[in-house]
Structures are given as structure tokens and as C-alpha cells.
């Protein structure tokens, strides 16, 4: 979306660009949080215990980082590091790791005593 204005340094341009930047920053963090919640929910349903909801603490950290980014940095990302992506990847690797190791345990149990067991 491009805004046409008569003057180059108008306050309308600054407001329009900052609103778009804030919306993009909030939307990215909302998508990261939603996907993290889905992966944690998947771990909880697969393991049949509510103890794995502790993995969702990362969503609170992501929300705090988002609050900091929206209020203090005005939606601007750092040029050399993106904390929201780092937090998202840490949570995703943790959840996917639990899913992978659970699958590996089941596979090892199914093939106990066979040649495939020694390969695992």
C-alpha cells in the first residue's frame, strides 16, 4: 500500500508506515505463537500427560519480546538478530524433539528382537 502525498516529509506518511510496520510485527509474532501452541498441543496429546504444557512458557517469552518490540522499538526488527525467530525456533526444536524421540521409542519397541532393532 502506497500513500500519495503532496509533501515529502508529511506526518501522514510516518503514521501510515508505522501502522503497517506495527501490524506486520504483531502478525509475525501471533503466527509464531499460534504455531508453537499447535506443536505443544501435539506433544501433549501424543504423550497423554499435561506435564508437557510447560513447553508453552516460550509463548509468554515471545509475548514479552513482542511487547518490547511494539512499544519500545516501534515494530522495527534488529538488523543483525531477530529475537522472535530465535525464541520460536527454540520452542519448535523442543517440541519437535519430544515428538521425534517418542516416535523413536515406539519404533524401537515394535522392532525389539529383530535386525532393525540393531540399526536403531
pLDDT, tens digit (0-9, with 9 covering 90-100), for 17-39: 577 888 888 899 999 999 999 99
Q: What mean pLDDT comes out for the span 2-9?
A: 49
pLDDT, tens digit (0-9, with 9 covering 90-100), for 32-81: 999 999 999 999 998 888 888 988 888 899 999 988 888 887 777 788 88
Within 13 Å, how many C-alpha atoms sit on residue 48's CB side? 0
In contact, 57 and 36? CB cutoff 8 Å: no
- pTM score: 0.71
Amino acid at each position: 500500500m502506497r500513500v500519495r502525498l503532496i509533501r515529502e516529509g508529511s506526518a501522514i506518511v510516518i503514521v501510515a508506515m508505522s501502522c503497517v510496520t506495527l501490524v506486520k510485527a504483531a502478525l509475525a509474532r501471533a503466527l509464531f505463537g499460534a504455531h508453537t501452541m499447535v506443536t505443544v498441543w501435539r506433544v501433549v496429546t501424543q504423550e497423554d500427560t499435561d506435564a508437557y504444557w510447560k513447553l508453552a512458557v516460550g509463548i509468554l517469552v515471545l509475548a514479552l519480546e513482542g511487547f518490547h518490540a511494539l512499544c519500545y522499538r516501534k515494530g522495527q526488527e534488529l538488523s543483525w538478530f531477530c529475537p522472535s525467530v530465535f525464541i520460536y525456533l527454540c520452542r519448535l526444536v523442543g517440541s519437535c524433539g519430544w515428538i521425534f524421540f517418542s516416535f523413536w521409542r515406539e519404533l524401537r519397541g515394535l522392532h525389539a528382537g529383530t535386525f532393525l532393532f540393531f540399526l536403531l
